[in-house]
Amino acid sequence: MEAWRRALNDPVSAFPIIKAGPAHIATLKTFDPPLPALEGRRFSGAERRGKRLLFPTDDGELVLLIHLMTSGRLKALPAGEAGPKMPAFSLEFDGGSKLVLTEAAKRKRAGVWLLTPEAAAAELEHLGPEALGLGAAELGEIMRREAHRLHPLLRNQKAIAGIGRAWANEILHAAKLSPYALSTELTNEQVERLATAMDEELRRGLALREAGAKDERTYRVHNRLAAPCHVCSTPIAQVDFEEHTIYYCPKCQTGGRVLKDRRLSRLLR
Ligand SMILES: [Zn+2]
């Protein structure tokens, strides 16, 4: 997300908006203020809070909030460049450049909200502190607050903002911790390792994304079932937890143990 933010900051603030929309009915989540209220205004830049991108107008009146979820993609198109035929959301700037949101998935999950700054602040209030640069002391406090398994806890935006399931896989592997380990049972040394892994992995991802790397080059564990672990060569394993698939190395992370599926449907039975 931070790589998106950096790439979009200049193009979105270069010119005022001349046309807001169209927006897919499932993508635009708000109707008041209406989308055309953006027209004639200019963004001050791109900001980020957790996995959400924020585009405040430079008059301080409105904030466009975008959450890409898993499959949304946001692109700044220079003037004259042909965009997708059916964008989920699009803004056109004076001079002809565009900001275009596309989502390849059948089910539209990415969202766009046009909010007042007050409503945006309320929307973001429930987010936990940013993952990047969190540090071991604060991370330890979050871990000890309540007992949760590490993978879902890292992904919980109310606890820590900015980590999705892919980076939870990468971070836990780098920290040599089981995705199922209980947060309250971590030693201080393990918390330190997790804090370091969070920083190092998120920075590694950011650098690769900024260099234009695709998923295959970015992820070393996520979506790598049966590929050799880059540390110990053991084949990467997967396990279904609730509605997510977790990837891990059974040698580096679980002391050789194979984790059992815990699907939501089974848990509810
Ligand atoms: Zn390994």
* Rounded-to-integer distance, Cα 222 and Cα 245, Å: 9
Ligand 1 centroid vs 267 CA: distance in angstroms?
29
How far is 95 from 170, CA to CA, in rounded Å?
41
- Please tell me the distance between residue 94's alpha carbon and the centre of ligand 1 in angstroms: 52
Strand partners, 113: 65
**How far, in Å, is the centroid of ligand 1 from the Cα of 131?**
24
**Percent above pLDDT 90 for the chain:** 74
> Could you say which DSSP state residue 257 is in?
P
In which band, very low, low, confident or very high, does the pLDDT at 216 lie, cut at 50, 70 and 90?
Answer: confident
> What's the pLDDT tens digit per position in 227-255?
999 999 999 999 999 888 999 999 999 99
User: How many CB atoms within 10 Å of residue 105?
Assistant: 11
Provide the 3-class DSSP secondary structure of residue 92: strand
Per DSSP (E only), the strands in the chain are 17-23, 47-49, 52-56, 63-67, 72-77, 89-93, 98-103, 111-115, 237-242, 244-248, 262-263
CA of 192 to the centre of ligand 1 (A): 20
Alpha-carbon distance values, 124 to 120, 130, 172, 182, 196 (Å): 6, 12, 26, 27, 26
State the alpha helices, DSSP H only, in 81-214.
117-124, 136-145, 150-155, 165-174, 188-210
Q: pTM, whole model, 2 decimals? A: 0.73
For residue 165, which phi and psi values (nearest 5 degrees)? -65, -35
**Structure-block tokens of residue 221:** 């564990």
Q: What is the mean pLDDT of residues 74-99?
A: 94
Residue 46's nearest CA partner among 95, 70, 22, 11 is 11
- Of the pLDDT bands very low, low, confident and very high (cuts 50, 70, 90), residue 109 is confident
Contact in structure between 134 and 198 (CB atoms under 8 Å):
yes
Q: How far is the CA of 252 from the centre of ligand 1 (A)?
A: 4
Dump pLDDT digits (tens) for 138-188. 999 999 999 999 999 999 999 999 898 999 999 999 999 999 999 999 999
253 CA distance to ligand 1 middle (Å): 7
- What average pLDDT does the structure give for the chain? 92
Distance from C-alpha of 75 to C-alpha of 193, rounded to nearest angstrom: 35
What are the angstrom distances between the C-alpha of 142 and each of 38, 153, 160, 229?
38, 9, 8, 29
